[in-house]
Structure 1
Amino acid sequence: MPSQIYGYVRVSTKEQNEDRQLIAMQNFGVKQSKIYMDKLSGKDFERPKYKRLMKKIKPGDTLVIKSIDRLGRNYEEILEQWRIITKEKQVGIVVLDMPLLDTRHKNDLTGTLIADIVLQLLSYVAETERINIRQRQAEGIAAAKARGVHLGRPRIDIPVEFYILKERYQSREITTREAAKILGISATTFLRWVDQDQS
Protein backbone atom coordinates (compact mmCIF):
# COMPACT_ATOMS: atom_id res chain seq x y z
CA MET A 1 0.00 0.00 0.00
CA PRO A 2 1.48 3.42 -0.98
CA SER A 3 2.38 5.88 1.78
CA GLN A 4 -0.39 8.21 2.91
CA ILE A 5 -0.50 11.85 4.00
CA TYR A 6 -2.61 12.55 7.10
CA GLY A 7 -3.48 15.81 8.79
CA TYR A 8 -4.23 16.46 12.44
CA VAL A 9 -6.20 19.46 13.69
CA ARG A 10 -6.84 20.29 17.35
CA VAL A 11 -8.92 23.19 18.66
CA SER A 12 -10.40 23.99 22.04
CA THR A 13 -14.12 24.63 22.25
CA LYS A 14 -13.29 28.28 23.04
CA GLU A 15 -11.10 29.03 20.00
CA GLN A 16 -13.09 28.16 16.91
CA ASN A 17 -10.20 28.48 14.47
CA GLU A 18 -10.28 25.07 12.84
CA ASP A 19 -10.94 26.70 9.44
CA ARG A 20 -7.45 28.21 9.41
CA GLN A 21 -5.89 24.82 10.15
CA LEU A 22 -8.12 22.96 7.67
CA ILE A 23 -7.36 25.43 4.85
CA ALA A 24 -3.61 25.07 5.51
CA MET A 25 -3.97 21.25 5.34
CA GLN A 26 -5.88 21.36 2.06
CA ASN A 27 -3.38 23.81 0.54
CA PHE A 28 -0.62 21.34 1.42
CA GLY A 29 -2.54 18.59 -0.38
CA VAL A 30 -4.03 16.61 2.51
CA LYS A 31 -7.34 15.04 1.44
CA GLN A 32 -10.38 15.95 3.53
CA SER A 33 -10.95 12.26 4.33
CA LYS A 34 -7.41 12.02 5.79
CA ILE A 35 -7.79 14.91 8.25
CA TYR A 36 -8.47 13.98 11.88
CA MET A 37 -9.83 16.68 14.20
CA ASP A 38 -10.28 16.89 17.97
CA LYS A 39 -12.34 19.64 19.59
CA LEU A 40 -11.60 19.84 23.30
CA SER A 41 -12.44 21.92 26.30
CA GLY A 42 -9.54 23.53 28.12
CA LYS A 43 -9.43 21.07 31.01
CA ASP A 44 -10.06 17.94 28.95
CA PHE A 45 -7.14 16.58 26.92
CA GLU A 46 -8.53 13.22 25.89
CA ARG A 47 -7.91 13.11 22.14
CA PRO A 48 -9.98 10.29 20.62
CA LYS A 49 -9.30 11.26 16.98
CA TYR A 50 -5.58 11.63 17.61
CA LYS A 51 -5.48 8.18 19.22
CA ARG A 52 -7.34 6.72 16.24
CA LEU A 53 -4.88 8.40 13.88
CA MET A 54 -1.91 6.96 15.79
CA LYS A 55 -3.33 3.45 15.25
CA LYS A 56 -3.87 4.15 11.55
CA ILE A 57 -0.52 5.61 10.47
CA LYS A 58 2.14 3.27 9.08
CA PRO A 59 5.90 3.59 8.52
CA GLY A 60 6.55 5.84 5.53
CA ASP A 61 3.35 7.87 6.00
CA THR A 62 3.44 11.64 6.63
CA LEU A 63 1.64 13.57 9.37
CA VAL A 64 0.92 17.25 8.72
CA ILE A 65 0.16 19.68 11.56
CA LYS A 66 -0.25 23.47 11.48
CA SER A 67 1.88 24.23 14.54
CA ILE A 68 4.01 22.25 16.96
CA ASP A 69 1.69 22.81 19.95
CA ARG A 70 -0.98 20.64 18.26
CA LEU A 71 1.05 17.64 19.47
CA GLY A 72 0.73 18.36 23.17
CA ARG A 73 0.05 20.75 26.02
CA ASN A 74 3.60 21.11 27.29
CA TYR A 75 7.28 20.65 26.49
CA GLU A 76 7.52 17.03 27.69
CA GLU A 77 4.34 15.94 25.92
CA ILE A 78 5.33 17.50 22.58
CA LEU A 79 8.78 15.87 22.66
CA GLU A 80 7.29 12.49 23.64
CA GLN A 81 4.75 12.56 20.79
CA TRP A 82 7.47 13.66 18.34
CA ARG A 83 9.64 10.70 19.44
CA ILE A 84 6.75 8.21 19.12
CA ILE A 85 5.79 9.44 15.65
CA THR A 86 9.27 9.79 14.14
CA LYS A 87 11.15 6.97 15.91
CA GLU A 88 8.57 4.32 16.89
CA LYS A 89 6.04 4.81 14.10
CA GLN A 90 8.71 5.89 11.56
CA VAL A 91 6.32 8.47 10.16
CA GLY A 92 7.45 11.80 8.71
CA ILE A 93 6.20 15.03 10.29
CA VAL A 94 5.60 18.34 8.52
CA VAL A 95 4.92 21.43 10.68
CA LEU A 96 3.41 24.02 8.34
CA ASP A 97 4.24 27.05 10.51
CA MET A 98 7.90 25.97 10.75
CA PRO A 99 9.40 24.65 7.48
CA LEU A 100 12.58 23.53 9.30
CA LEU A 101 10.45 20.93 11.11
CA ASP A 102 10.07 18.55 8.20
CA THR A 103 11.40 15.03 8.78
CA ARG A 104 10.30 13.48 5.48
CA HIS A 105 13.89 13.33 4.20
CA LYS A 106 14.92 10.49 6.49
CA ASN A 107 18.23 9.86 4.75
CA ASP A 108 19.29 13.46 5.30
CA LEU A 109 20.98 13.15 8.71
CA THR A 110 21.67 16.89 8.95
CA GLY A 111 18.02 17.69 8.22
CA THR A 112 16.82 15.28 10.92
CA LEU A 113 19.34 16.66 13.41
CA ILE A 114 18.30 20.27 12.71
CA ALA A 115 14.62 19.31 13.04
CA ASP A 116 15.28 17.69 16.44
CA ILE A 117 17.26 20.71 17.72
CA VAL A 118 14.67 23.22 16.47
CA LEU A 119 11.87 21.16 18.01
CA GLN A 120 13.56 21.07 21.43
CA LEU A 121 14.20 24.82 21.30
CA LEU A 122 10.65 25.68 20.19
CA SER A 123 9.05 23.39 22.77
CA TYR A 124 11.19 24.93 25.49
CA VAL A 125 10.31 28.48 24.41
CA ALA A 126 6.57 27.63 24.22
CA GLU A 127 6.63 26.05 27.69
CA THR A 128 8.58 28.98 29.17
CA GLU A 129 6.07 31.44 27.68
CA ARG A 130 3.16 29.47 29.18
CA ILE A 131 4.82 29.56 32.63
CA ASN A 132 5.48 33.31 32.25
CA ILE A 133 1.84 33.97 31.29
CA ARG A 134 0.61 32.08 34.38
CA GLN A 135 3.10 33.99 36.55
CA ARG A 136 2.02 37.36 35.08
CA GLN A 137 -1.65 36.47 35.70
CA ALA A 138 -0.92 35.52 39.33
CA GLU A 139 1.10 38.74 39.86
CA GLY A 140 -1.70 40.81 38.24
CA ILE A 141 -4.33 39.27 40.53
CA ALA A 142 -2.13 39.83 43.61
CA ALA A 143 -1.49 43.49 42.61
CA ALA A 144 -5.22 44.07 41.99
CA LYS A 145 -6.11 42.62 45.40
CA ALA A 146 -3.45 44.80 47.04
CA ARG A 147 -5.08 47.87 45.43
CA GLY A 148 -8.44 46.73 46.83
CA VAL A 149 -9.88 45.80 43.44
CA HIS A 150 -12.71 43.28 43.88
CA LEU A 151 -12.22 40.32 41.56
CA GLY A 152 -15.03 38.02 40.57
CA ARG A 153 -18.72 38.81 40.18
CA PRO A 154 -19.66 42.40 41.04
CA ARG A 155 -21.88 42.71 44.12
CA ILE A 156 -25.44 43.85 43.41
CA ASP A 157 -26.49 47.05 45.19
CA ILE A 158 -29.58 46.50 47.33
CA PRO A 159 -32.48 48.45 45.75
CA VAL A 160 -34.90 50.60 47.78
CA GLU A 161 -37.82 48.27 46.95
CA PHE A 162 -36.08 45.53 48.92
CA TYR A 163 -36.84 47.18 52.27
CA ILE A 164 -40.58 47.37 51.51
CA LEU A 165 -40.62 43.74 50.33
CA LYS A 166 -38.61 42.66 53.38
CA GLU A 167 -41.29 44.06 55.68
CA ARG A 168 -44.02 42.32 53.67
CA TYR A 169 -42.00 39.08 53.77
CA GLN A 170 -41.45 39.33 57.54
CA SER A 171 -45.16 40.01 58.13
CA ARG A 172 -45.83 36.92 55.96
CA GLU A 173 -47.72 38.78 53.24
CA ILE A 174 -45.43 37.35 50.56
CA THR A 175 -43.04 34.39 50.27
CA THR A 176 -39.27 34.48 49.72
CA ARG A 177 -39.77 33.35 46.12
CA GLU A 178 -42.37 36.06 45.39
CA ALA A 179 -40.17 38.79 46.85
CA ALA A 180 -37.14 37.54 44.89
CA LYS A 181 -39.17 37.40 41.65
CA ILE A 182 -40.29 41.05 42.03
CA LEU A 183 -36.68 42.14 42.57
CA GLY A 184 -35.36 39.92 39.74
CA ILE A 185 -32.94 38.06 41.99
CA SER A 186 -32.67 34.53 43.38
CA ALA A 187 -34.41 33.53 46.61
CA THR A 188 -30.95 32.82 48.10
CA THR A 189 -29.82 36.39 47.39
CA PHE A 190 -33.02 37.80 48.90
CA LEU A 191 -32.47 35.83 52.13
CA ARG A 192 -28.82 36.91 52.24
CA TRP A 193 -29.90 40.55 51.97
CA VAL A 194 -32.41 40.01 54.79
CA ASP A 195 -29.62 38.58 56.99
CA GLN A 196 -27.24 41.43 56.06
CA ASP A 197 -29.85 44.05 56.88
CA GLN A 198 -30.40 42.56 60.30
CA SER A 199 -26.72 42.28 61.19
Structure 2
Amino acid sequence: MIFGYARVSTNEQNLDLQIDAFLKEGIKDKNIYMDKVSSTKEERRKLGKLLDYVREGDTIMVWKLDRLARSLIHFTKLMNEFEEKGVKCKSITEPFLDTTDKSSHSKLIVNMFAALAQLERDIIIERTKAGLESARRHGNVLGVPKGISKKNQQKAVLCVEYFRDG
Protein backbone atom coordinates (compact mmCIF):
# COMPACT_ATOMS: atom_id res chain seq x y z
CA MET A 1 0.00 0.00 0.00
CA ILE A 2 1.20 3.54 -0.71
CA PHE A 3 0.81 6.26 1.90
CA GLY A 4 1.43 9.98 1.62
CA TYR A 5 2.89 12.17 4.33
CA ALA A 6 2.39 15.93 4.08
CA ARG A 7 3.60 18.59 6.48
CA VAL A 8 3.56 22.35 6.74
CA SER A 9 5.14 24.40 9.52
CA THR A 10 2.27 26.67 10.55
CA ASN A 11 -1.52 26.66 10.58
CA GLU A 12 -1.48 29.57 8.13
CA GLN A 13 0.23 27.42 5.50
CA ASN A 14 -1.71 25.19 3.15
CA LEU A 15 -1.34 21.46 2.46
CA ASP A 16 -3.22 21.53 -0.88
CA LEU A 17 -0.13 21.41 -3.13
CA GLN A 18 1.17 18.27 -1.43
CA ILE A 19 -2.25 16.60 -1.25
CA ASP A 20 -2.90 17.29 -4.93
CA ALA A 21 0.45 15.70 -5.81
CA PHE A 22 -0.44 12.57 -3.78
CA LEU A 23 -3.86 12.29 -5.44
CA LYS A 24 -2.19 12.63 -8.86
CA GLU A 25 0.11 9.72 -7.85
CA GLY A 26 -2.99 7.63 -7.09
CA ILE A 27 -2.85 7.77 -3.29
CA LYS A 28 -6.30 7.66 -1.70
CA ASP A 29 -7.42 10.43 0.68
CA LYS A 30 -7.66 8.00 3.59
CA ASN A 31 -3.98 7.08 3.11
CA ILE A 32 -2.66 10.63 3.39
CA TYR A 33 -1.29 11.63 6.79
CA MET A 34 -0.87 15.35 7.49
CA ASP A 35 0.85 17.39 10.20
CA LYS A 36 0.85 21.12 10.79
CA VAL A 37 3.95 21.46 12.93
CA SER A 38 7.40 22.99 12.61
CA SER A 39 10.13 20.71 11.32
CA THR A 40 12.16 21.53 14.44
CA LYS A 41 9.61 19.73 16.61
CA GLU A 42 10.53 16.14 17.21
CA GLU A 43 7.01 14.90 17.85
CA ARG A 44 4.72 14.83 14.86
CA ARG A 45 1.56 12.96 15.81
CA LYS A 46 0.43 11.92 12.33
CA LEU A 47 3.90 10.84 11.24
CA GLY A 48 4.13 8.74 14.40
CA LYS A 49 0.77 7.12 13.63
CA LEU A 50 1.88 6.45 10.06
CA LEU A 51 5.14 4.86 11.21
CA ASP A 52 3.21 2.64 13.62
CA TYR A 53 0.75 1.63 10.89
CA VAL A 54 2.98 0.84 7.90
CA ARG A 55 4.00 -2.74 7.26
CA GLU A 56 6.51 -4.59 5.12
CA GLY A 57 6.01 -3.82 1.43
CA ASP A 58 4.31 -0.45 2.05
CA THR A 59 5.67 2.80 0.59
CA ILE A 60 5.69 6.22 2.21
CA MET A 61 5.62 9.00 -0.36
CA VAL A 62 6.50 12.62 0.38
CA TRP A 63 6.27 15.68 -1.82
CA LYS A 64 9.77 16.73 -0.82
CA LEU A 65 12.37 15.31 1.59
CA ASP A 66 12.26 18.29 3.96
CA ARG A 67 8.58 17.52 4.63
CA LEU A 68 9.65 14.22 6.20
CA ALA A 69 12.97 14.69 8.00
CA ARG A 70 14.21 17.47 10.32
CA SER A 71 17.90 16.87 9.68
CA LEU A 72 20.29 14.41 8.09
CA ILE A 73 20.46 12.51 11.35
CA HIS A 74 16.66 12.30 11.50
CA PHE A 75 16.56 11.24 7.82
CA THR A 76 19.09 8.48 8.49
CA LYS A 77 17.14 7.28 11.52
CA LEU A 78 13.93 7.14 9.46
CA MET A 79 15.64 5.32 6.58
CA ASN A 80 17.03 2.73 9.02
CA GLU A 81 13.57 2.30 10.55
CA PHE A 82 12.03 1.91 7.09
CA GLU A 83 14.64 -0.67 6.10
CA GLU A 84 14.08 -2.69 9.30
CA LYS A 85 10.32 -2.74 8.63
CA GLY A 86 10.69 -3.41 4.90
CA VAL A 87 9.03 -0.07 4.10
CA LYS A 88 10.01 1.93 1.01
CA CYS A 89 10.25 5.70 0.63
CA LYS A 90 9.82 7.94 -2.39
CA SER A 91 9.89 11.69 -3.01
CA ILE A 92 7.68 13.10 -5.75
CA THR A 93 9.90 16.09 -6.55
CA GLU A 94 13.30 14.50 -5.88
CA PRO A 95 13.88 11.44 -8.07
CA PHE A 96 17.15 10.62 -6.28
CA LEU A 97 15.12 9.64 -3.19
CA ASP A 98 13.42 6.45 -4.27
CA THR A 99 14.00 3.23 -2.37
CA THR A 100 11.15 1.48 -4.19
CA ASP A 101 13.59 0.18 -6.77
CA LYS A 102 16.62 -1.77 -5.71
CA SER A 103 18.97 0.19 -7.95
CA SER A 104 22.50 0.73 -6.80
CA HIS A 105 22.01 4.46 -7.39
CA SER A 106 19.21 4.86 -4.86
CA LYS A 107 21.11 2.81 -2.29
CA LEU A 108 24.23 4.94 -2.90
CA ILE A 109 22.31 8.17 -2.33
CA VAL A 110 20.74 6.91 0.91
CA ASN A 111 24.16 5.75 2.13
CA MET A 112 25.71 9.11 1.21
CA PHE A 113 23.07 10.86 3.29
CA ALA A 114 23.81 8.47 6.15
CA ALA A 115 27.53 9.23 5.91
CA LEU A 116 26.85 12.99 5.87
CA ALA A 117 24.59 12.61 8.90
CA GLN A 118 27.33 10.79 10.79
CA LEU A 119 29.84 13.49 9.82
CA GLU A 120 27.43 16.20 11.02
CA ARG A 121 26.96 14.40 14.33
CA ASP A 122 30.72 13.93 14.83
CA ILE A 123 31.42 17.60 14.11
CA ILE A 124 28.79 18.66 16.65
CA ILE A 125 30.39 16.40 19.27
CA GLU A 126 33.87 17.79 18.50
CA ARG A 127 32.61 21.39 18.78
CA THR A 128 30.84 20.66 22.05
CA LYS A 129 33.95 19.07 23.57
CA ALA A 130 36.13 22.00 22.44
CA GLY A 131 33.67 24.49 23.92
CA LEU A 132 33.55 22.63 27.24
CA GLU A 133 37.36 22.47 27.43
CA SER A 134 37.63 26.18 26.67
CA ALA A 135 35.07 27.03 29.35
CA ARG A 136 36.94 24.93 31.92
CA ARG A 137 40.27 26.60 31.02
CA HIS A 138 38.65 29.98 31.63
CA GLY A 139 37.44 28.85 35.06
CA ASN A 140 33.76 28.54 34.23
CA VAL A 141 31.88 26.07 36.41
CA LEU A 142 29.75 23.82 34.21
CA GLY A 143 26.53 22.09 35.07
CA VAL A 144 24.02 22.52 37.84
CA PRO A 145 25.38 24.26 40.95
CA LYS A 146 26.18 21.82 43.74
CA GLY A 147 24.23 21.88 46.98
CA ILE A 148 21.22 23.90 48.04
CA SER A 149 20.91 27.64 47.46
CA LYS A 150 20.74 30.01 50.47
CA LYS A 151 17.05 30.66 49.79
CA ASN A 152 16.23 26.95 49.71
CA GLN A 153 18.32 26.33 52.85
CA GLN A 154 16.09 28.82 54.67
CA LYS A 155 12.99 27.10 53.32
CA ALA A 156 14.34 23.72 54.48
CA VAL A 157 14.83 25.06 58.03
CA LEU A 158 11.25 26.37 58.02
CA CYS A 159 9.94 23.03 56.72
CA VAL A 160 11.69 21.16 59.53
CA GLU A 161 10.24 23.61 62.10
CA TYR A 162 6.72 23.29 60.66
CA PHE A 163 7.04 19.50 60.64
CA ARG A 164 8.10 19.44 64.31
CA ASP A 165 5.24 21.79 65.23
CA GLY A 166 2.81 19.43 63.56
TM-score (norm 1): 0.53
Q: CA deviation at 1:71?
A: 2.2
Alignment correspondent of 2:107:
113
Alignment correspondent of 1:144:
none
2:66 matched to 1:66?
no
Whether the 8 Å contact between 1:101 and 1:119 is mirrored in structure 2 is no
- Match of 2:85, as an amino acid? K
Alignment correspondent of 2:146:
none
Structure 2 residues not aligned, in runs of 5+: 121-166
Structure 1 residues not aligned, in runs of 5+: 128-199
**Aligned residue runs from structure 1 range 1-199, under 5 A:** 4-13=1-10, 16-41=13-38, 44-85=41-82, 87-106=83-102, 108=103, 110-117=104-111, 119-120=113-114
Which structure has the higher relative contact order (CA within 8 Å, separation 6+)? 2
Q: Deviations over 1:49-105 (max 9, x none)?
A: 1111111101111110011112222221111112211x1111111111111211112
Whether the 8 Å contact between 1:57 and 1:91 is mirrored in structure 2 is yes
Runs of 4+ aligned structure 1 residues displaced above 6 Å come to 121-124
Q: Deviations over 1:179-199 (max 9, x none)?
A: xxxxxxxxxxxxxxxxxxxxx
- Match of 2:79, as an amino acid? W
TM-score (norm 2): 0.62
Q: CA deviation at 1:123?
A: 7.1
Q: Looking at CA atoms only, which structure, 1 or 2, has the larger radius of gyration?
A: 1
The 1-side partners of 2:62 and 2:20 are apart by 12
Identity of matched residues, %: 35
- Match of 1:77, as an amino acid? H
